Structure 1
Amino acid sequence: MIKESQLKAEDAYFTKSVDAGDYFIYQINAGDTIRIVDSKGNQAADTLFYNANDVSERYSAMDTIREQGALYLTSGSMLKTNLNQDMLEIVADTCGRHDTVGGACATESNTVRYDLEKRCMHACRDSWMLAIQENEMYGLSKSDITHNINFFMNVPVTQEGKLTFEDGISAPGKYVELKAKMDTLVLISNCPQLNNPCNGYNPTPIEVLVWS
């Protein structure tokens, strides 16, 4: 469901542009609002969320889908943890739909889906691993890379129950905005994928803003 935000960019206490293929890691506090902006359109922001006070509690796609009774995420969706606790609520969304079943690209999946020669291409899981290695203070490890949300990504489910990767339904300047229900660690891989239409075969930057 399309819903505009009432927040003004100039009032944000934090703003950062994240290049395609780069990662973003940041802690927001309970009550903060974070906005992810699809700067150029048709980009995919693969995102993980953790309880900042105990990273063993993290975003759960299964609990979120079950509790809201809907496959896709949009304004009004409550993101749940693996302990079935409220984590974040999508309070504004100008894209209209976001994927949480397609998973994230990896060197292994690039090989299986596309070609052996694609194995060496950078992938979202590489970005997350680099973030973990360069930010040890958060206490994350490889085993903490689990369910993610693909903001702005279009992954339709066919009548046969299969997933397909299609052209994005986003556009330049579209955004999604989430309000934290707990202190939350946000880890984003701004997807470098060049092999399917999720980025229009042209990965571009995203922008992140945070309000208290």
Structure 2
Amino acid sequence: DPEDLRARSARLQHAMAAGFAGALRARTLAEQEAIAQAALKAQGVVAEALHASEARFRAVFEGAAIGIGIADLDGNVLQVNEALMRMFGIADPLLGGRRATEWTHPDDAPQTWRLYEELVRGEREHYHVEKAFYRPDGTVLWTNLTVSLLRDADGTPQYQLALMEDTTERRLLNLRLRYEATHDALTGLPNRSFFFERLEKALNAGPGQRFGLCYLD
């Protein structure tokens, strides 16, 4: 019967279409599940790597013998380690909310703050200077200072990281040795080395510079 044949054919096509649609839906769901599982696994790997990286940084930050400080681009001190706190003779890890720009010193090299401004503008990645700081008790702390720029994932400047080595004792020793080399041990008066050093400096002062000399034995 042609009508019966067409009916059976239609039912067969419908069943095949339903089966194909079901198989396609099951495959899509399986792929989505696989993608979700892969994403979760990737997130887990990233989280583990981030945790391990943070743990390594924390170990270095807390155990380092040199001073380490983190500040924002406005110079607000966010965090310092114990070594830096010992250098400054303080107990407050936030340094009393101070800003890095407050730590000026008359003996700062002229280019120190120019380098600082270039760094916070993102024009340089790091700089290294010898810099003096005032401690809360009024004494002077001399350091070898390295400041690096920290950027976010998009490359935008975000923080600055300072590494400080205390060179105060070394500097005082060098000054003492220099004083002993240029002054008489008994009288404390400048010796011949000091005289010739100053004379050479005066002679090299440049054209148009005049000076007087009086030599007494």
TM-score bracket for the superposition, by shorter chain length: under 0.3
Structure having the higher strand fraction is 1
Structure having the higher helix fraction is 2
Structure number with bigger Rg = 2
TM-score, normalisation: structure 1: 0.23
